[in-house]
Amino acid sequence: MGLFKRISDIISANLNELVEGLEDPETMLRQAIREMEESISEVTHQTAKAMANDKTLSRELERNRQQVEQWQSRAVAAVEADDDELARRALSRKNEYAKVAAALEDQLESAREATTTLRRQLDAMKAKLSEAKRNLATLSARKRAADFRKRMETQAAGLTTEVDEDAFAKFERMKSKVEQAEAEAEALAELRGTSVEQGAPVKEAPEEDLDVAAELAELKKNLKGQAE
């Protein structure tokens, strides 16, 4: 893949779409960041070379301009000295430097435009890299939170199941014990002639005591009648 193709891809990349739907978006984004950093490093070197070329062209252009001025001054001096031949040679040399200077001006203009483009693209790539790193930090934090939540939910689910099953088992055992105790109490109450619902047992008089009491009452009645 060419450098400028990579630059275009990085600048125009939609990072959200890049990781959307991927099984491991964090790994994919880390890989994209590594590729961005490699491309940015390469573009940085290219930009540095372009800037250095600008400086070289600028210095060369300045030297040629100085030569143009110097040969122009010599031509003027030759004319003032009525030395036309020297003046022609001076003007010829001046024109040579002027042509070189004109070519250098065009080269420098093109070079500066290329350097400006590279610097803007480099800035855009760095901005995209910063965005990718922010997304990675957010994605990593979300993944850690999701993993933690998943672990907690898994543990809670297992713990809840165990606790619930144990609680229900204890409840059933307790219920059985209570029902058994109630049944035993009712059975004892029947055997003893008592009622659990009535509370304290009621003592019933033996049959012999009832007969004696009846006889006593009858005797008292008879005696009272005789006395009257």
**Spatial CA neighbour of 9 closest among 32, 41, 27, 29:** 32
Mean pLDDT (10-residue bins), the chain, 228 residues: 52 54 68 86 90 94 96 91 90 93 95 92 88 80 73 63 53 65 70 53 54 65 64
- 137 part of a folded domain: yes
Element (H, E) at 81: none
How many domains in the chain?
A: 1
Return d(Cα 166, Cα 106) in angstroms, integer: 88
- Domain with 17, as residue range(s), is 3-149
Q: Establish if 125 belongs to a structural domain.
A: yes
Residue 72: closest CA among 58, 83, 60, 87: 87
pLDDT given at position 202: 47
- Per-residue confidence (pLDDT) for residue 195, from 0 to 100: 47
Q: What is the pLDDT of residue 114?
A: 92
- What's the CA gap between 60 and 106, in Å, rounded? 13
Q: Identify whether 182 is part of a domain.
A: no
User: Per the domain annotation, does 19 fall within a domain?
Assistant: yes
The reply to whether 222 falls in a domain is no
Assigned domain for 67 exists: yes
Residue 68 is assigned to a structural domain of this protein: yes
pLDDT value for 198:
47
Q: Is residue 93 part of a domain?
A: yes
| SS3 call for 132 | helix
Q: What are phi and psi of 24, to 5 degrees?
A: -130, 75
Provide the Cα torsion 111, 116, 117, 118; round to 10°. Answer: 90
